[in-house]
Structure 1
Amino acid sequence: MDHGNILSRIQALTYSITRKIGHQIEGVLSELGLTRGQFYILKTIESQGKCRATDIANMMEVKPSAVTLMIDRLEARRWVRRSQDTSDRRVIIIELTPEGKEVLEKARKISDEVVRRYFAHLSYGDLNHLLKIYEKLERIAVDKHEKSKGEKGNRRARQ
């Protein structure tokens, strides 16, 4: 197989695998009343402690308005709470509630189980090799993304 065919096959397989696993995860999350985006937001808030909607939007690389809608839904379910930042009243801080922590833990367990079922068929060596490849691709993607952002900024400055 030539280089172009290999890349096409990798791209098709990556899309197919991600879609299949993602679809199964969506199914189990929906039983808890969560979307994948909401699950990601809950995980992000947990990892950051408290954060602003703009911080979440930046991490997800989406518009803040999209995050605001998801946070509205999470707040309606009492899984997150909004409050004013004590050091800057203009800033709204978002944090997990105890109920949010509970649903996140349930969601994480069932999501992990879906992924585990797929990867259980690979040896430890295969998993480790796959991890190294993904880490390398992530570094390349981050580097290219940062360079792309820098080039856009330079173009704007010249205009």
Structure 2
Amino acid sequence: MRLGRRLRWAFPDEGLTMAQFALLKLVDAHGPLTMGELADQLGVSLATATGLVDRLTAANLLTRERAERDRRVVVVRLSESGQARMAQAQARRRAYMASALRHLGTGDLEIFLRLLTQITEGVERDGHGAGEAPHPGKEG
């Protein structure tokens, strides 16, 4: 079974789409973001980002506020419920991954972490942001 499918199976109570969870993770990691920043980071249109934010705001996981410096700009942040939900989800995921990795020996774990670091650095170096797929034919 693929890891993504297994993770979704392990956390059935999330009730969120992968895109919604990715958006919540972005706001959780970076703090308040504008709609344009969210769309750019997710690699989606502004209309798609707005739809995601609409649904997450209706679920009381996000709030929309006017930016202090420019009242025309809308900033999205996690609500208190959203913060609690993300903390719970991250704790469950950490526990699941710790359980999955406990079977690795020290040497294997060091190799895994080194490879994961190299992959992460490569993705960041190539400019693929969170939610942004590599462009076919793009040289890295």
Same fold, TM-score > 0.5, yes or no: yes
Gaps of at least 5 residues in structure 2 are 129-133
- Which amino acid in structure 2 is aligned with residue 88 of structure 1? D
1:47 shift after superposition: 1.9
The residue that corresponds to 1:77 in the other structure is 59
Distance 2:65 2:40 in 1: 20
The answer to whether structure 1 residue 116 and structure 2 residue 93 are counterparts is no
Alignment length (residue pairs): 131
Distance 1:64 1:124 in 2: 45
Q: Which has the higher helix share?
A: 1
- Which amino acid in structure 2 is aligned with residue 110 of structure 1? R
The residue that corresponds to 1:99 in the other structure is 81
What fraction of aligned residue pairs are identical, expressed as a percent?
Answer: 24
Distance 2:59 2:91 in 1: 20
Distance 2:71 2:11 in 1: 35
| Other structure's SS at 1:125 match | helix
1:61 shift after superposition: 2.5
Greater mean alpha carbon deviation, residues 127-136 or residues 93-102: 127-136
The residue that corresponds to 2:131 in the other structure is none
Structure 1 length-normalised TM = 0.68
| Other structure's SS at 1:86 match | coil
Structure 2 length-normalised TM = 0.76
The residue that corresponds to 2:30 in the other structure is 48
| Other structure's SS at 1:83 match | strand
Any idea what the Cα deviations from partners look like across 1:35-83, whole Å, max 9, x if unmatched?
2322222221122221112222222233333222221111001110001
Any idea what the Cα deviations from partners look like across 1:103-156, whole Å, max 9, x if unmatched?
11111122223323322211233222222222223333444448x99xx8xxxx
- Root-mean-square deviation (Å): 2.5
Gaps of at least 5 residues in structure 1 are 1-15, 153-159
